[in-house]
Amino acid sequence: MTLKDSALNLAKLGYLVFPCKHKKPLTQHGFKDATSETAQIETWWDNNPEAEIGAPAGKKAGFFVLDVDLPEGPATLKRLEEEHGSLPVTATQCTGGGGSHFFFKHPGGTIKDSVRKLGPGLDIRGDGGYIIMPPSPHKSGKCYQWTSSEPMADAPDWLLDLVAGDSEKEKHTKVTSTPYGQKALADESKEVSMASEGTRNHRLNQAAFSLGQLVAGGELGENQAAYSLLGAALESGLSKKESTRTIDSGMKAGMGQPRNAAMEMFKDIASIGQDNDTANLNGNNWPVPHPLPDELLPVKPCKYDLLPSTLRPWAKDICERIQCPFDFVAVAIMSCLATVIGRKIGIRPQGKTDWTEIPNMWAMIVGRPGVMKSPAIEAAIAPLKQLMAKANTFHETAYNEYLIQKRLTKLQSEAGEKKARETLRKNQDADVSALLQIEEPEEPTLQRFVVNDTTFQALGELLRQNPNGLLAHRDELVSLLKSLDREDHVEARGFYLTAWNGNSAYTFDRIGRGMNLHIPAVCLSMLGGTQPGRLSEYVRHAVKGGAADDGLIQRFGLLVWPDINGTWNNVDRWPDNDAKKKAYDIFHYLNKLKPEDVHAQQDNDHDDKPEGVPFLRFNDSAQELFLEWRTILERRLRSEDLLPAIESHFSKYRTLVPSLALIIHLAEDGVGPVSESATATALAWAEYLESHAQRVYGSLTHSEIMVAKVIIKRIRKGDITDGFSCRDIYRKGWTMLTDHHQVESALKLLVDYEWLQAIDQETGGRSTTEYSINPNGLS
């Protein structure tokens, strides 16, 4: 069973899960992103198949965990059981480090998280904490595993008293700290005095000596003493040499150990600390800060079987030769297929209603400069350009014939007028209308497929001439979107919004160009690329109000932001011409396609004449599959669990999925109702695209995370000290820390992840917020 399968099984059992690496969350908001949703879990583990399985504890999860770490934990637990009574039999697992996790039902209220130690090697994972679940791998090479499959038991009263009140450490030990954070452990009868008398080194040697005596007497474990000594030495600012000498002297005096043994202990402390998530070397009451998330959410990879089978070899060949992500080529191909199909055939997603969708596509490819976005798009558009070349040739011939017919009509008209005059001269009442009725030849229009930089008025005229629709290809799409944000481009923005669904009429009324220039249906596909930074900036404005907050960005259903493979291979070979020819043949077939060729239906008007776009519906099994998916979608959209921008984006999938199913069905030579296999592929597209949409909208925190990490660096350098405010940072003019709103957002993020604590200060007027620094994040 894979880790993904295990994560899905845990979710079915009621656990919330999320992926980790070396115990650190891989998600944007850490354990707060934990879920039992199948699609999200599959996305996470498809991208990170070896990820450990994390599960948050606490009231929401319904349980808390007693965490027993080696080597001191079992002895501490035994002492507590001897004093209070044995633990009940409950669900238990063995950790990868050899310790144990005992699961208990959460009693309600609040159970503090892991920094609340119950004694050496013994602590709690409660509200705000998480654990790693079986069968996750451990760095030791072992895996977490269940050792008891019993159901979770109620925690005994004595344990609840401990985790709800004073911790066991506070009851049985005493911590005395100097202003610079030294720590000594002793029982109440052997308290070590850490008075301020004497030099720093003298005090440390005294602490080391006393600790050594306690270890020698069996009253403190070696690792516990080592932690205390390390905390004292490093917090006091001793060098490594001084720290070593201090530990050496104390251990020799207390335990009679030779110097090399003390040195080995000193070297092992860091690795021991990594295995004990709850170790607090500084002896303070601050929690261990949660690791900040990666800047970007993981995304699902684009698989070859998302494309129609007839086009996969050609697309794969393009990717291998260009060395670009398959996402770039696949998305561009689908938008080009949509352009050729256009308004020839629509799809009715329900079995009886007249709800009709036109399969035009808006596609945006996101990637930094130099990752081969443009070459991938150009390769995908090549079949359209070939169709355009043939259309140009055809138009040139037709236009020459038109000129000949126009001259001939002119001569016929002149001759008719001459004969009409002669007839009227002889008989004023003669009917000469037949002589004047010369049919003017119709000027041929050039069939277009792709437009680039054009005004929306010119685009409208082109769409009047090409009612099947067009593809607007822009190398930098965000530049177009930003231009549409301008107040003097409101009409242009409205035109593009209308053009998205491919089925709405638009009328130009302009003096100088003519009145009532009517387009029965504006059908536009869009394709282009942009850079991550430009998109994140645009999306930020789009979701926070303003001109961009009208759903324009959410209309880009084929919106992809893939990871870029760091490897590169020099591929210097001829294109696969056989695959290329077969792919181009599909485009030619779709261009010539007639509705009757695929048994499309069409409505009739009151005069029993055909009206509207011809359409196909799903077959029975495909209809059932689509309905099952849509039911889940509609519930999600009504759950209020989604951010408004993401909710708006996913609501467009009602249109996207049936349109993708129709495109795939037709590109695979489908005839009649849309097949179940085409529908399943469309749903796979939706799952894939959802992960990319989550990354795009999640990128709003990208800058906040980066700014937060810069703030942490400044804190560790000593540039920022306790009691600072947001204003103290952005007024410094430091790189990346000059924007007031970004700094404020980053500080809130650091508070959420427990790197800082926010303290509101009343000043008699407007309150200000000062921030205290978690000392556990200084190293």
Structural domain includes residue 285: no
Identify the residue with better confidence: 283 or 777: 777
Q: Which of 108-117, 470-479, 590-599, 647-656 has the lowest mean pLDDT?
A: 108-117
- Confidence at 691, pLDDT banded by 50, 70, 90: very high
pLDDT digits (tens, 9 = 90+) for 352-390: 999 999 999 999 999 988 899 999 999 999 999 999 999
Query: Whole-angstrom Cα distance, residue 209 to residue 249?
Result: 7
Return d(Cα 655, Cα 678) in angstroms, integer: 15
Range among 222-236, 246-260, 569-583 rated most confident: 569-583
- What is the predicted pLDDT for the residue at 575? 93
Whether residue 232 has pLDDT greater than 70: no
With cut-offs at 50, 70 and 90, classify the pLDDT of residue 281: very low
CA 663 vs CA 362, 388, 666: distances in Å: 14, 21, 5
Q: Are 384 and 239 members of one domain?
A: no
Q: Could you tell me if 18 and 297 are in contact, meaning their C-beta atoms sit under 8 angstroms apart?
A: no
Looking at residues 224-233, what average pLDDT do you find?
A: 50
Joined together, the tokens standing for residue 629 give 């998916």
Q: Residue 77: pLDDT band by 50, 70, 90 thresholds? A: confident
400 found inside a domain: no
Give yes or no: residues 264 and 378 share one domain. no
Note the pLDDT of residue 275.
35
CB 288 within 8 A of CB 114: yes
Q: What sign results for the dihedral spanned by CA atoms 212, 217, 223, 225?
A: negative
Write down the pLDDT at residue 271: 35
Residue 290 lies in a domain: no
Cis before 135 (ω within 30): yes
Domain hosting residue 754, numbered range: 718-777
Average the pLDDT over 344-349 and give the result. Answer: 97
DSSP H or E stretch at residue 725: strand 724-725
Q: What is the mean pLDDT of the chain?
A: 81
Specify the range with the lowest mean pLDDT, choosing from 51-65, 238-252, 310-324: 238-252
Please indicate, yes or no, if residue 620 is contained in any of the structural domains: yes
Q: Return d(Cα 750, Cα 404) in angstroms, integer.
A: 77
Which residues share a beta bridge with 758? Answer: 771
Lowest mean pLDDT among 279-288, 391-400, 561-570, 709-718: 279-288
List the CATH number of the domain containing 615. 3.40.50
pLDDT of residue 592: 95
pLDDT, average across residues 474-488: 87
Bridge partners, 525 (sequence order): 471
346 pLDDT band, cuts 50/70/90, is: very high
Res 234 pLDDT > 80? no
The residue among 689 and 517 whose pLDDT is bigger is: 689
Q: Is residue 453 part of a domain?
A: yes
338 and 270 fall within a common domain:
no
Residue 527 pLDDT exceeds 70: yes
**How far apart, in whole angstroms, are the C-alpha atoms of residue 193 and residue 464?**
91
Q: Which residue type occupies 506?
A: Y
Same domain (yes/no): 219, 179: yes
Q: Residue 663: name the closest of 328, 365, 307 by CA.
A: 307
Q: Mark whether 570 and 528 lie in a shared domain.
A: yes
Give the per-residue pLDDT at 641.
75
The reply to whether 159 and 192 lie within a common domain is no
Instruction: Kindly state whether residue 505 falls inside one of the protein's structural domains.
Output: yes
Rounded distance, CA 269 to CA 251, Å?
A: 15
Residue among 711, 748, 663 at smallest CA distance from 359: 663
Predicted confidence band of residue 30 (pLDDT cuts 50, 70, 90): confident
- Across 115-124, average pLDDT: 72
Helix axes 577-592, 326-341, angle to 10 degrees: 30
Which helix (H) or strand (E) segment holds residue 222: the answer is helix 222-235
The answer to whether residues 63 and 144 belong to one domain is yes
Q: Sorting pLDDT into bands at 50, 70 and 90, what band is 679?
A: very high
Q: pLDDT-based confidence at 537, cuts 50/70/90?
A: confident
pLDDT of residue 239: 47
- What was the pLDDT predicted at 121? 81
584-641 residue pLDDT tens: 999 999 999 999 999 999 999 888 899 999 999 999 999 999 999 999 999 989 987 7
For 548-558, give one letter per residue: b (16+ CB within 10 A) or e: bbbebbbbbbb
> Of the residues 102, 137, 168, which one is the last residue of a structural domain?
168
Report the domain count for the chain.
Answer: 4
What are the pLDDT digits (tens) for 384-436?
999 999 999 999 999 999 999 999 999 999 998 999 999 988 888 888 888 88
Examine the domain organization and report whether 356 and 462 are in the same domain: yes
Each residue's pLDDT tens digit, 235-251: 444 444 455 555 555 55
CATH of the domain at 766: 1.10.10.10
Is residue 628 located within the same domain as residue 544? yes
d(CA 32, CA 293): 11
- pTM, whole model, 2 decimals? 0.59
Condensed to tens digits (0 to 9), the pLDDT of residues 170-219 reads 333 332 222 222 233 233 223 333 323 334 444 445 545 545 544 444 44
Domain boundary among 644, 668, 699: 699
Looking at residue 512, its pLDDT comes to 53
| Domain finish residue from 207, 241, 275 | 275
| Same structural domain, 557 and 618 | yes
pLDDT category of residue 139 using cuts at 50, 70 and 90: confident
Q: Is residue 407 part of a domain?
A: no
Q: What is the pLDDT of residues 42-58, one digit of tens each?
A: 989 988 888 999 999 88
Regarding whether 82 and 226 lie in a shared domain, the answer is no
In a domain, 425, yes or no: no
Quick one: which of 673, 667, 669, 665 has its CA closest to 336? 667
- In terms of average pLDDT, the best of 138-147, 249-258, 472-481, 500-509 is 472-481
Angle between helices 240-255 and 259-275 (to 10 degrees): 110
Q: Do 21 and 141 belong together in one domain?
A: yes
Say which residue, 741 or 392, is predicted with more confidence: 392
**Which residues is 474 bridged to in the sheet?**
528
- Residues 696-739: pLDDT tens digits? 887 665 667 878 888 999 999 999 998 899 999 998 888 778 87
CA torsion, points 696, 697, 699, 704, in degrees to nearest 10?
170
Q: What is the pLDDT of residue 263?
A: 42
Q: What is the pLDDT of residue 764?
A: 63
- In three-state secondary structure terms, 382 is helix
Nearest CA to 692 out of 345, 160, 297 is that of 297
Amino acid at the residue 169: K
Given a cut of 70, is residue 167 above it in pLDDT?
A: no
